[in-house]
Structure 1
Amino acid sequence: MSSISSAGIGSGLDVNSIVTQLMAVEKAPLQQMQTATSKIQNQLSAYGKIQSFVSTLRDASSKLTSATTWNDTTATSGDSSVFTATTDGTAQAGNYTLSVQQLATAQTVASPASAFPVGAGVLRIQDGAGGQAIDVAIGAGDSPAQVRDKINAAKAGVVASVVTDASGSRLLLRASETGADHAFTVREVVSDGMGGETTTTTGDLAKLTYDSSQPAAAGVNMSLTQAAGNAKAKVNGLDVESASNLLTGAVEGVTIKLGKVSASPVELSVTNDTESIKTAISAFADAYNQLNTYLSQQTAYDATTKKAGTLQGDSATNSLQYAMRGIASGTGTMAGSYQRLAQIGIEIKKDGSMSINDTKLTGALGAQLGDVKALFASKDTATASNNGFGVRLQQWGDALLKFDGALTSRSESLQRKVDAGTKSQDAFNDRMTQVEARLRKQYTALDNQMSKLTSLQAYVTQQVTSWNKSTG
């Protein structure tokens, strides 16, 4: 007879416990594999952060090699109510005088108070600067607001508005742009009696027309309330003129916004923008310190906690930090009065970090800006040691981060190790699954045999007992 049994039942053999304990021994190497892969993963993560910090330092160094950084200027007006000024990268430091004789104006005309209601017709608006004339159809009985909206919708180079006073509503037309060239005419389109058309200022819409070349009758045509005019000024005694109140080109690289007429000349001062340069240098020092601090943390060993940084003992990281500090604390041989960063107030401390003496840096920028620029931005294609510190650290960062650079190659190597470790763990787990299945099969078979032996022993014991009773 066959019997139904569960592992350990009947035989007393604890198959599950035995297999579990045996598998714990078999799986012991997995923990070591996981620990090793985790360590490499942490190193890979650390190198990722190093790449990010190096990239930031490279970009900050690059900014100090740019002509734009060193050519930044700022313009100051002696009276901001007369004019204000801004500069671009081409402006040169210098002092100028500027007086304003006339501001640019936009032509403005106004209709008579009795202009409305109007008759039907077509107004033709022509900008004096040329371009296509725009026709606007006016309906009989159109209100001032309706006429205004039709003209504005036509985008004819004028802006229409309605002004209402005790005399009634008036239509105002103002040129969209200032300047003498933007004087405009408004004429009514009428038939010439021969199948063609002509324009006039005496038709049904006469009170909405204006033409400076035609005599304007009071109460019959629109009247000129402001003539179109150019801005006129003097820069260092030289006459300049502009269609708008923005003067560009009068002083190279400087845009001047006129505010009002001046009774006397006002000083315009263009100076080097040392504050923006100091901001760029500060960003450079911050980026350097972030990288230096991170490298120090990752390679340190804490004797108290007996814990080492992720990259402690990593020769590549130590070499990287050594090279960075060597560049920053080194000496340049470029032309100029400065050969070391410390000479302009950027000092390297014992821990490798940078500190900035603002007073010393401000003094250097004010006294010898060109030499400070050379300290960072000078380039010598023949001799790398002649390059400025910004150039050298930018090139150092580029070399580390390029596709076959040291940081890129190291990260790729660590990633391959992580991938290999993960693959090995997967293969190991697959083997352990097979081993566990084999052990369970073996011990289940042993359990069945022991169960049978136990049953046989019970039967023999029963038979012996019965035999003893029968012979007793």
Structure 2
Amino acid sequence: MASISALGIGSGLDLNGLLDQLNEAERGKLEPVERQIESQQVRISAYGELQGALAAFEGAVGRLAEPSLFQSLSANVTGDALQAAADADAAPGQYQVEVEQLASAGSLASQRIDVELDEALTDSDSTLTLAFGNAPDGKPDAIHISVAAGSTLEEVRDAINAHEGANVSASVVNDGEGYRLALMSNDTGEAASLTGMTFEEGFFADGVIVSDAEDEGAGAVVQPGRDAAFSVNGIAIVSPTNQVEGAIQGVTLDLQQPGSATLGVEQDTLAVREAVSGFVEAYNALKGTIGELTAFDAESGRAGELLGDSAVRTIESRLRNDLSAMVGDPAQGELAMLSELGISLSLDGTLSLDPAELDMAIANDMGAVERFFAGGEDVPGMAGRLAETSSQLLGSNGALTNAIGGAENRIESLSQRYVRMEQGIAQTIERYRVQFGQLDGMIAQMNQTSDYLTQQFAAMDAQLGRD
């Protein structure tokens, strides 16, 4: 930098300023390359936007290509007694359900214990036994919980809650006159209901009084657990839980309250209508994205980032061919064109949907609608064909991927060219700097020679004047 600042000292010329101007002029050669790199980056961003819209369309047609969509069932309930959900194993039908009682968890409480919470209940290691009256197969009918010597009522509660196999929740309750140990089963139903709570002999410390108890340590049943009781079309059913599976094949019942309800299991036409509407909306959104990216404003002269792009033309052409092609055989009474489902292609290239015509096609023959969109085992339907095309366009060798790869390659090539040009400019400026230094030195020497000659001539003039 010192050499740059020293330029012009000898000659008196603004060589530093001239060198800066030359440098600016040389770097101006980089601007076209910078603009090309920026243009390719903008194209990649535009390709990404188009990629997102096409992926959304692929998802929409992929849903329509699934046969399970047209075979799905819905469970519709009239009444507040229950809620229901149907899966693929359900069969269409009507069911009358009467809920008599809901399943509930059993609860149990000890007799009142006239002690403070921080007083010890036992002076030796003891055992608390919880009994279950009708334990299901594989479950013990009694649980034995170890209680350490010196344990307070709260510590007994904690020991119960910490026991993995107890399957109960313990708490301490103050009834206004004293404390009780209260237990509730974690599961509903008679089989999970607690029927007894007994203490090993010597559990209570001396001086502790158990009120209102015939036997020291006896437990009092507050509420037994109950099974849910209901009927389906007059058939009585009992369940330990309020969520019932298997009473009606493929249907899960969630009992809410005693009462009557009518359950209808039928084809889920709403899901099909929503899927078709989603397909139309996704395609129109894709067309809208393409329109924005390829638009041209004559007034401003502004062109879309992908105007005239070959990848965009490929996408539009392939999707348009799929949409306009026939699917089924009209001679066999099959749906063959989108227009038969109330879907038409507008002049602007978007799709429009007539919901009433679609509803009619679904009501007349859901199977025909399924074959049109989802196709059969060997022949893809309209949605399957569009899904395959979208997948190819988005794939590793698809039009979009290749277009993005091409733009990235051009950016890499331009970046390398930019670096080479920068290096060339740096070399040119350095050459100018050397030449300017030489010029500065030459002019400085010439100035010195001029000054010397001027002095000599002046001396000669003075000498001649004295003579």
Q: Contact between 1:110 and 1:224, CA under 8 Å: does it hold in 2?
A: yes
String of CA shifts for 1:239-274, please: whole Å, max 9, x gaps. 433221222112222111223444xx6321123333
Residue 229 of structure 1, CA deviation: 4.0
Q: Is 1:58 the equivalent of 2:58?
A: yes
Q: Return the match for 2:289 from 291, 294, 305.
A: 294
2:315 alignment partner AA: L
Instruction: Evaluate the alpha carbon distance shift between residue 441 and residue 138 of structure 1 in structure 2; reply closer, same or farther with a 3 A threshold.
Output: closer
- DSSP-derived class of the 1:95 partner: strand
Match in the other structure for 1:323: 318
- Return 324-333 or 129-138, whichever deviates more: 129-138
Q: C-alpha deviations, 1:185-237, integer Å up to 9, x for none? A: 5364769xxxxxxxxxxxxx9x89xxxxxxx9899944545444433332233
CA distance in 1, matches of 2:313, 2:157: 76
Deviation at 1:419, TM superposition (A): 0.9
Question: Which residue pairs with 1:195 in the alignment?
Answer: none
Which residue does the alignment assign to 1:284?
279
Deviation at 1:441, TM superposition (A): 0.5
- Cα distance in 2 for partners of 1:45, 1:457 equals 65
Residues 281-310 of structure 1 deviation map (CA, whole Å, 9 limit, x = unaligned): 333333222221222222232222222222
d(CA) in 1 for partners of 2:38 and 2:110? 85
The corresponding residue for 2:189 is 179
Name the stretch that deviates more: 170-179 or 33-42: 170-179
Aligned equivalent of 1:123, options 112, 120, 128: 128
Asked whether the equivalents of residues 74 and 86 of structure 2 are also in contact (C-alpha less than 8 Å), the reply is yes
- In structure 2, the residue matched to 1:47 is 47
For residues 134-190 of structure 1, the C-alpha deviation after alignment (integer angstroms, 9 at most, x for no partner) is 323468998766654543343513344566658865554443322333244536476
Q: Is 1:307 matched with 2:302?
A: yes
Write the letter of the residue equivalent to 1:49: E
Helix, strand or coil for the counterpart of 2:306? coil
The TM-score normalised by the length of structure 1 is: 0.80
Assess, with a 3 A threshold, how the Cα gap between structure 1 residues 457 and 76 changes in structure 2: closer, same or farther. Answer: same
Q: What SS class does the counterpart of residue 76 from structure 1 fall into?
A: strand
- Distance in 1, matches of 2:148 and 2:403, equals 80
Say which of 427, 433, 445 aligns to 1:452.
445
Would the aligned equivalents of 1:116 and 1:143 in 2 still touch at CA under 8 Å? Answer: no
User: Counterpart of 1:419 in 2: which secondary structure?
Assistant: helix
* SS of the residue 2:328 aligns to: coil
**Shift of the alpha carbon at 1:422?**
0.7
Task: Provide, for residues 61-85 of structure 1, a one-character-per-residue CA deviation record: whole Å limited to 9, x for no partner.
Answer: 21222344334433222221x2221
For 2:243, the equivalent position in structure 1 comes to: 246
Which residue in 2 is equivalent to 1:32? 32
Contact 1:134 1:154 in 2 (8 A): no
Question: Quick one: which amino acid aligns to residue 390 of structure 1?
Answer: A
Pair 1:409-2:402 in alignment:
yes
Per the alignment, residue 205 of structure 2 pairs with none
Q: 1:167 to 1:41 in 2, by over 3 A?
A: closer
What is the CA distance between 1:395 and its match in structure 2? 0.9
Q: Which moved more, 1:131-140 or 1:290-299?
A: 131-140
Q: 2:64–2:373: 8 Å Cα contact kept in structure 1?
A: yes
The residue number in structure 2 matching 1:423 is: 416
Contact 1:122 1:138 in 2 (8 A): yes
Is the partner of 2:191 in helix, strand or coil? helix
1:139-288 correspondence to structure 2 within 5 Å? 147-155=156-164, 156-161=166-171, 171-186=181-196, 188=198, 221-262=218-259, 266-288=261-283
- TM-score, length of structure 2 as denominator length: 0.81
CA drift of 1:432 comes to 0.7
Count of residue pairs brought into register by the alignment: 441
Distance 2:254 2:244 in 1: 6
Structure 2 contact 188–227 (Cα < 8 Å) conserved = yes
Partner of 1:471: 464
Shift of 1:416: 1.1
* Partner residue, 2:434: 441
**In 2: Cα distance, 1:74 partner to 1:14 partner:** 87
The Cα shift of 1:343 comes to 2.7
The one-letter code sitting in structure 2 at the alignment partner of 1:86 is: A
Alpha-carbon distance between aligned partners in 2 of 1:300 and 1:379, rounded to the nearest angstrom: 40
Residue pair 1:100, 1:234 contacting (<8 A) in 2 also: yes
Report what 1:76 is aligned to. 76
Equivalent residue for 1:396? Answer: 389
Which residue number in structure 1 is paired with residue 118 of structure 2?
none
Question: Cα RMSD between the aligned structures?
Answer: 3.6
Once the two structures are overlaid, the 10-residue window that deviates more, 372-381 or 115-124, is 115-124
CA distance in 2, matches of 1:260, 1:103: 7
Q: What's the % identity of the aligned pairs? A: 30
Is there any run of 5+ residues in structure 2 with no aligned partner, and where?
116-120, 202-207
Deviation per CA, 1:441-460, whole angstroms, max 9, x where unpaired? 01220221122123222322
Q: State the match for 1:373 in structure 2.
A: 370
The one-letter amino acid of 2:190's match is A
Aligned to 1:201: none
Name stretches of at least 5 consecutive residues in structure 1 with no aligned partner.
192-204, 209-215
Question: 2:195·2:221 contact (CA, 8 Å) conserved in 1?
Answer: no
Confirm or deny: 8 A CA contact 1:71 1:272 kept in the other structure: yes
Structure 1 residues 338 and 13, CA gap change in structure 2 (3 angstroms): same
Alignment of 1:1-16 (within 5 A): 6-16=6-16
The alpha-carbon distance between structure 1 residues 458 and 222, as it changes in their structure 2 partners (threshold 3 A), is closer
Q: C-alpha distance in 1, partners of 2:215/2:86?
A: 48
Contact in 2 for aligned 1:77/1:266 (Cα 8 Å): yes
State yes or no: 1:86 paired with 2:85: yes
Map of 2:19 onto structure 1: 19
Tell me the amino acid that sits aligned with residue 95 of structure 2: Y
Give 2:103's aligned residue.
104
Helix, strand or coil at the partner of 1:50: helix
* Matched residue type, 1:249: G
